[in-house]
Amino acid sequence: MSKSSGHRDHPEHQVRESHVDERMTVVFAGQTLADSRDVVRVDEDGHPPRFYFPRGDVRQDRLKRTATSTECPFKGTASYFDVDVDDQRVKDAVWSYETPFDEHEGLKERMAFDESKSEELVVRSLP
């Protein structure tokens, strides 16, 4: 069964995916949480760019699934995770579209980090 998103009803709203050419990392409290050369950048109207890392390139031992979920009419349902490093925790700082709408199937099995949740949570590209 095909899952379709709000793009049909709102064709003016743009959500663009592109692969990042550089290696990217996520660092929190001095620890690397993600490191990948297979990152998808999402540019969505009205939102800052977000970077989606393959789940296998993210340290799952530093994440804890929460009960939080949100609905995006363009991408689907997002599940959230806390980041937990030593004695520092950032609530709902990571999300994943585990069953995205067909138009954004490229986000499946990927995780994004919300840098606005903490000054110590840094997503960056490396040479």
Residue 49 lies in a domain: yes
The mean per-residue pLDDT over the stretch 114-127 comes to 91
* Amino acid making up residue 96: S
- Number of independent structural domains in the chain: 1
Give yes or no for a contact between 34 and 94, defined as CB atoms under 8 angstroms apart: no
Report yes or no on 10 lying in a domain.
no
Domain-embedded: residue 93:
yes
pLDDT-derived band of residue 2, with 50, 70 and 90 as boundaries?
A: very low
pLDDT tens figures, 15-71: 999 999 999 999 999 999 999 999 999 999 999 999 999 999 999 999 999 999 999
The CATH number assigned to the domain holding 64 equals 2.170.150.40
What secondary structure, in 3-state letters, does 26-55 show? Answer: EEECCEEEEEECCCEEEEECCCCCEEEEEH
pLDDT bucket at 10, cuts 50 / 70 / 90: confident
User: For residue 2, is it within any domain?
Assistant: no
Per-residue model confidence as pLDDT tens digits over 60-86: 999 999 999 999 999 999 999 999 999
pLDDT of residue 3: 60
3-state secondary structure of 61: helix
Residue 8 lies in a domain: no
User: What pLDDT is stored for residue 5 in this prediction?
Assistant: 66
Helix (H) or strand (E) holding 113: strand 110-113
